[in-house]
Structure 1
Amino acid sequence: MKICSHKGLVIAILTRNEHCPPHVHVGTERWNARFTFSFWHNGVRLWDVTPARNEPTVVVLEELRQAIKRPLHLRKARGLWWRSRQTLCLDRQWWDVEGEEVVSARAPRAGALAIESARFDAQSYKTVLTLAGRSTPLEIEL
Structure 2
Amino acid sequence: MKVCIHNGLLIAVLTRNEHCPPHVHVGANEWEARFEFSFWHNGVRLLDVLPVQNKPTVAVLENLRQTIKQPSHLRRAREIWWRNLQTVCLINQLWDTEASEVASAKNRQSSASIIKYARFDAGAYKTVLQLEGQSNFMEIRL
Normalising by structure 1, we get a TM-score of 0.97
The one-letter code matched in structure 2 to 1:35 is F
Ranges in structure 2 where 5+ consecutive residues have no aligned partner: none
* Bigger Cα displacement from structure 2, 83-92 vs 68-77: 83-92
- Cα distance in 1, alignment partners of residues 103 and 85 from structure 2: 22
Is 1:92–1:105's contact at 8 Å kept on the other side of the alignment?
no
Q: Which residue number corresponds to residue 89 of structure 1? A: 89
Instruction: Name the Cα RMSD after superposition.
Output: 0.9
Q: Which residue number corresponds to residue 51 of structure 1? A: 51
* 1:106 CA displacement: 4.3
* 1:22 CA displacement: 0.1
* Bigger Cα displacement from structure 2, 108-117 vs 38-47: 108-117
Q: Which residue number corresponds to residue 63 of structure 1? A: 63
Is 1:115–1:129's contact at 8 Å kept on the other side of the alignment?
yes
The one-letter code matched in structure 2 to 1:64 is L
1:66-77 map, 5 Å:
66-77=66-77
The one-letter code matched in structure 1 to 2:47 is W
SS at 1:79's partner residue?
A: helix
- Cα distance in 1, alignment partners of residues 20 and 105 from structure 2: 15
Equivalent pairs counted in the alignment come to 142
Give aligned-pair identity as a percent: 63
- Cα distance in 2, alignment partners of residues 91 and 104 from structure 1: 14
The one-letter code matched in structure 1 to 2:66 is Q
Q: Which residue number corresponds to residue 11 of structure 1? A: 11
Normalising by structure 2, we get a TM-score of 0.97
- What CA deviation, in whole Å up to 9, does each residue of 1:27-73 have, x standing for no partner? 01100000000000000000000001000000000000000000000
SS at 1:114's partner residue?
A: strand
* 1:110 CA displacement: 1.9
SS at 2:33's partner residue?
A: strand
